[in-house]
Structure 1
């Protein structure tokens, strides 16, 4: 089930909002840094003078399972459909790359579930479709967000802060086109399809009332980039996403 950790999702009355998800533990990662990030990002934003961003952000920590991921996205989609206002939502998924050394902004997800280990409910698919028969197994869905531009801007921002105590400038971000085939890829693929936020979707007039954009960020382990610096990076990413979407 979803557990909310910030202002109530239904109480947000802004034309722009962030929804951020993190994951709980899974095999090999008993303490998932994205749990801490999701639970603490709103407080971090408030403590660092980014109150406007904090006020439009809701966060959720999800069980690391395909079933929980689908249920969470289905619920968020239903919540979006029930709203009458014209809104822009950024759905930012966070996951840990336990072998990673940099922040990976995932440009796409794949319609394939191949779990190297069982998820938290014992599910271990092998080359199974996430989206059913309408989309071929293994097909890539690219996010509508300009990931290359985001990475360029983020790395420029990091360079500007290289004299600060934050050493994240040495761990810059990169564009990735391989989110794996575990639950991280699963929720990203399902979100991109559910919210019609990928380049393969044909835009219709029905898409104009509200817009949801999806992105997945893989963070390194805290042994590589400390938790405080991960908060710093996520906050910078949110700022960049917010400024970019204001242009539209």
Structure 2
């Protein structure tokens, strides 16, 4: 009998993107999310990371909320608790600066921001942060440029690199 040691913790990520919206005929997040599972199968999923789901949300704020909560709920067993959160600022608990620096060393032109935008992005990110806070999960929002600015292959590589960085951050935080 060999010594197997403790099993490594697995971090499961739930990835969402948006359908096209006004003025944008092709939303790169829809393409990236639809192709990400196959892409990382070819490249290899980072050790300690699993993809829970890849979902596309409607770009109408209220229309995105139910599928978003279904995605978030699938990440936990406990029911969502209701609490008053009016006039409250919620921040991600992930080390965003560390994630940004690591991606920059990999050659990506990235920057942190405390503004998810004024459209459905802000609405969805707020609800995902609120849900994460209530249920002990983590949430991260990433804006991506249109494909005419940065091509699809580069953005797919970025998404895979981001997953790798998140796996490393999660494993470091668990120790």
Q: Report the TM range for the smaller structure's normalisation.
A: 0.7 to 0.9
TM-score, normalised via structure 2 length: 0.82
Task: Report 1:86-125 matches (<5 A).
Answer: none
Match of 2:116 among 172, 176, 179: 179
1:55: how far off? Answer: 5.0
Supply the distance in 1 between the matched residues of 2:18 and 2:164 (Cα, whole angstroms).
22
Note closer, same or farther for the CA distance 1:242–1:51 as it changes in structure 2 (3 Å cut).
Answer: closer
What secondary structure sits across from 1:240 in the alignment? helix
Once superposed, what is the RMSD of the aligned Cα atoms? 2.4
Supply the distance in 1 between the matched residues of 2:50 and 2:131 (Cα, whole angstroms).
25
More strand by share: 1
1:80: how far off? Answer: 3.5
TM-score, normalised via structure 1 length: 0.59
What secondary structure sits across from 1:19 in the alignment? strand
Supply the distance in 2 between the matched residues of 1:15 and 1:51 (Cα, whole angstroms).
10
2:21 corresponds in structure 1 to 26
1:133: how far off? Answer: 6.2
Note closer, same or farther for the CA distance 1:29–1:50 as it changes in structure 2 (3 Å cut).
Answer: same
1:196: how far off? Answer: 0.6
Task: Report 1:36-47 matches (<5 A).
Answer: 36-47=31-42
More helix by share: 2
What secondary structure sits across from 1:61 in the alignment? strand
1:226 corresponds in structure 2 to 151
> How many correspondences in the alignment?
162
Note closer, same or farther for the CA distance 1:220–1:81 as it changes in structure 2 (3 Å cut).
Answer: closer
Task: Report 1:106-145 matches (<5 A).
Answer: 134-136=85-87, 139-145=88-94
Note closer, same or farther for the CA distance 1:132–1:53 as it changes in structure 2 (3 Å cut).
Answer: closer
Supply the distance in 2 between the matched residues of 1:34 and 1:27 (Cα, whole angstroms).
15
Supply the distance in 1 between the matched residues of 2:18 and 2:76 (Cα, whole angstroms).
25
Note closer, same or farther for the CA distance 1:150–1:78 as it changes in structure 2 (3 Å cut).
Answer: closer
2:132 corresponds in structure 1 to 195
Q: Does 1:78 align with 2:77?
A: no
